[in-house]
Chain A
Amino acid sequence: MIKITNLHASVEGTEILKGINLEIKPGEVHAIMGPNGSGKSTLASVLAGREDYEITEGSIEFLDKDLLDMDIDVRAKEGLFLAFQYPVEIPGVSNVNFLKAAINEKRKYFGQDDISAKEFLTAVKENSALVELDGKLKNRSVNEGFSGGEKKRNDIFQMAMLQPKFAILDETDSGLDIDALQVVAKGVNAMRNDNRSFLIITHYQRLLDYIVPDFVHVLYDGQIVKSGTKELAMEMEEKGYDWIKNN
């Protein structure tokens, strides 16, 4: 699915990622944990193509293509999705119109016709039920006046609507209460299959109780310093990040 090789990235001259190597195969769920400032969110931003970062070295292959060569929206059309740590508000643009625009742009990219109204509405109905999104929120402006939990659920709803091949969840659990966390996890778990991969970025092990990863990596000072299975997350939780720092 995605292969990251020796990735170095910096922002305003300061190197944040210092040689990341990571391969995620179809159907796998990987989790990246790490203390604040270790480069977790930078990695998510670089993958999505945020322009504030400069890639100084390394390569990323996404579905056998050069990801770094693609514009932000092309990455998305090819199937990369980022659930934001802080989803933004877009006043005056209704949630459903926004999604319809996104879906149709993707379909156009693949030479397909616009989605039919019926097909679209069915998908909206099914997927909003999946993340227990209030019916009223669908017609409201994108994230405007949503609570923190509603914004996160809306992001997962968008993910379900767009059916990406590879989804990155950037600290989706931050600021969520346990109920909202479970709803988000339910949405993600429902979408897990043999062809879709996930990269879950989190500070806490808590989310991984609900979305059980195949692999866990610990990011520290811009490098993956430890990799393992879900037991590694438990160990991290127990021993704390100082354990990594002191090794």
Chain B
Amino acid sequence: MQNEEELLHEVTNKEYEYGFETNIESDTIAPGLSEDVVRRISKKKDEPQWLLDWRLKAFAIWKNMKEPEWAHVKYPKPDFQAISYYSAPKPKKELASLDEVDPEILKTMERLGISLEEQKKLTGVAIDFVIDSVSVATSFKEKLGELGIIFCSMSEAIKEHPELVRKYLGTVVPQSDNFYAALNSAVFTDGSFCYIPKGTRCPMELSTYFRINESGTGQFERTMVIADEGSYVSYLEGCTAPQRDENQLHAAVVELIALDNAEIKYSTVQNWYPGDKNGLGGVFNFVTKRGICHKRSKISWTQVETGSAVTWKYPSCILKGDYSIGEFFSVAVTNNYQQADTGTKMIHLGKHTKSTIISKGISSGHSQNSYRGLVQISKNAINSRNFSQCDSLLMTDHCGAHTFPYIEVNNQSSMVEHEATTSKIGEDKIFYCKQRGISEEKAIGLIVNGYAKEVLNKLPMEFAVEAQKLLEISLENSVG
């Protein structure tokens, strides 16, 4: 017989380890993907029938699709039957102190200027729940609630705001859009949901970071941001801290809906584990991100991509409404054996629509970095404009930079401009900096950040500072 104290000890420890979730074992579905698995995911999440039907339709489509081969990336194809598509949001393994964390990660975090408390949180070290950020997050949520802004997990949104989810889910990225989007539609488990009511300006940058009570990002995330008429929101995704994840395959979907006169600014810093120096391991990041712009609305995508072994990502805008604006600002860094195929699609449907693309690729080591973009101006999109600028910076002799721009203009009154440059980081620039007493690493950081400045400037202030340091760290020892 256990005495009371022992029992108490056991119970408290158990909670500490697993949170207040039910037993982990029974909450994981065995590897493999079938219609039955899709049904079980939906059931476990206690979803309405319409959503199950939607998922099943996606699965049926996915079954008949082939993994795309057109991207300029090479990787072993994942075995989709070897993946477990549902496991309860399990808490990360909790560590007793920072001493147990990989010192390399800590070093990086320190250099990024991440506070000790935050370091603990990000690495899964047990933390005192009275730290500031929790109360900050709570008060943020209250403040948002007063304005009628909904900011919650996708699961919560499906339960609390089914009419909104149902109205918009899959309207920008339909189930049949592409292989990974179809897969995501069938099996997505969670993600973020955000709704800004009419005429409301969201008073703060919305960041998943503040949703600290939710579990970490899943393998198949689904995010939706809906900006109602005349509203504004700036949304931040990801963080600069290095993120390790045991899931090799990530296939997220992000849908943005900007109704008339609304504006959405969506910023991403992606720093998933890129694999080691020899190209072993690392995350495959196959993301579908797209936004739709109604009349006089605007969507800006800003991304700083430094992580993942393979990146396949094209945040796009459908400029449906007249006078709508789409923007894409990107810095993509690849080092060692990383591969990135990224860019955007600007689909001009409405009249007088405008789009801007600024893409800055930086390749180092043996990496391959591709820009792939489509600018399509339909027949009816009269008087539309696009300006594209694609620059590539090469740091070594073994890396590659590629540009695949596609331009289709179907009327006489529109104008498209495309500029592109490729350059190698200048020895003379590095020498100049060093002659002024600046170390080589710092010099490379300065030069690269200068090169990427146009894009970094688009990031929210505090994010931009961290992103700058991240670029420096990502490119360490990379000139050759």
Give A137 to B93 CA distance when docked, in angstroms. 53
Give A50 to B434 CA distance when docked, in angstroms. 10
Is B454 among interface residues, defined by CB-CB distance under 8 A? Answer: yes
A76 and B437 contacting across the interface, CB-CB below 8 Å: yes
Name which residue of chain B comes closest to A86, CB basis: B428
A73 and B432 contacting across the interface, CB-CB below 8 Å: no
Is B439 among interface residues, defined by CB-CB distance under 8 A? Answer: yes
B449 and A50 contacting across the interface, CB-CB below 8 Å: no
Contact with B along A68-89 (1 / 0, CB 8 A): 0001110111000110100110
B435 and A98 contacting across the interface, CB-CB below 8 Å: no
Contact with B along A13-47 (1 / 0, CB 8 A): 00000000000000000000000000000000000
A50 and B436 contacting across the interface, CB-CB below 8 Å: no
Is B446 among interface residues, defined by CB-CB distance under 8 A? Answer: yes
User: B453: which A residues are within 8 A, CB to CB?
Assistant: 92-93
B435 and A105 contacting across the interface, CB-CB below 8 Å: no
Is B429 among interface residues, defined by CB-CB distance under 8 A? Answer: yes
Given contacts A90-B450, A92-B449, A93-B449, contact A102 B438 (CB under 8 A): yes
B439 and A90 contacting across the interface, CB-CB below 8 Å: no
A101 and B446 contacting across the interface, CB-CB below 8 Å: yes
Name which residue of chain B comes closest to A80, CB basis: B435
B431 and A162 contacting across the interface, CB-CB below 8 Å: no
User: B431: which A residues are within 8 A, CB to CB?
Assistant: 48, 50-51, 72
Give A41 to B440 CA distance when docked, in angstroms. 23
Given contacts A48-B435, A76-B435, A98-B446, contact A92 B451 (CB under 8 A): yes
Is A158 among interface residues, defined by CB-CB distance under 8 A? Answer: yes
User: B442: which A residues are within 8 A, CB to CB?
Assistant: 101, 105
Is A152 among interface residues, defined by CB-CB distance under 8 A? Answer: no
Name which residue of chain A comes closest to B450, CB basis: A92
Is B473 among interface residues, defined by CB-CB distance under 8 A? Answer: no
Give A99 to B452 CA distance when docked, in angstroms. 19
Given contacts A50-B431, A101-B442, contact A90 B447 (CB under 8 A): yes
A106 and B437 contacting across the interface, CB-CB below 8 Å: yes
User: B439: which A residues are within 8 A, CB to CB?
Assistant: 73, 105
Is B148 among interface residues, defined by CB-CB distance under 8 A? Answer: no
Is B426 among interface residues, defined by CB-CB distance under 8 A? Answer: yes
Distance in angstroms from B174 CB to nearest chain A CB is 40
Is B88 among interface residues, defined by CB-CB distance under 8 A? Answer: no
Number of A-B contacts (CB under 8 A): 75
Given contacts A72-B431, A92-B453, contact A162 B436 (CB under 8 A): yes
User: B450: which A residues are within 8 A, CB to CB?
Assistant: 90-93, 141
User: B446: which A residues are within 8 A, CB to CB?
Assistant: 90, 93, 97-98, 101
Is B29 among interface residues, defined by CB-CB distance under 8 A? Answer: no
User: B451: which A residues are within 8 A, CB to CB?
Assistant: 91-92
Distance in angstroms from B104 CB to nearest chain A CB is 23
Contact with A along B422-434 (1 / 0, CB 8 A): 0000101101111
Among the listed B440, B449, B452, B454, which residue makes an inter-chain contact with A73, where contact means beta carbons less than 8 Å apart?
B440
Among the listed A84, A87, A91, A101, which residue makes an inter-chain contact with B438, where contact means beta carbons less than 8 Å apart?
A101
Contact with A along B325-361 (1 / 0, CB 8 A): 0000000000000000000000000000000000000
Distance in angstroms from A180 CB to nearest chain B CB is 20
A73 and B447 contacting across the interface, CB-CB below 8 Å: no
Give A98 to B434 CA distance when docked, in angstroms. 11
Name which residue of chain A comes closest to B456, CB basis: A92
B 393-447 contacts with A by CB, 8 A: 426, 428-429, 431-440, 442-443, 446-447
Q: List 24 A-B contacts (CB under 8 A).
A: A49-B434, A49-B435, A51-B431, A73-B434, A73-B437, A73-B438, A76-B435, A77-B437, A90-B429, A90-B432, A90-B433, A91-B450, A92-B450, A92-B451, A92-B453, A93-B449, A93-B450, A98-B433, A98-B446, A99-B436, A101-B438, A102-B436, A106-B437, A162-B436
B positions within 8 Å CB-CB of A: 426, 428-429, 431-440, 442-443, 446-447, 449-454
* Top 5 closest pairs, chain A to chain B, by CB: A92-B450, A93-B450, A76-B437, A92-B453, A72-B434
Q: A72-B435, A92-B450 are in contact. List 9 more A-B contacts (CB 8 A).
A: A48-B435, A73-B443, A76-B437, A84-B435, A87-B432, A92-B452, A101-B438, A102-B433, A141-B450
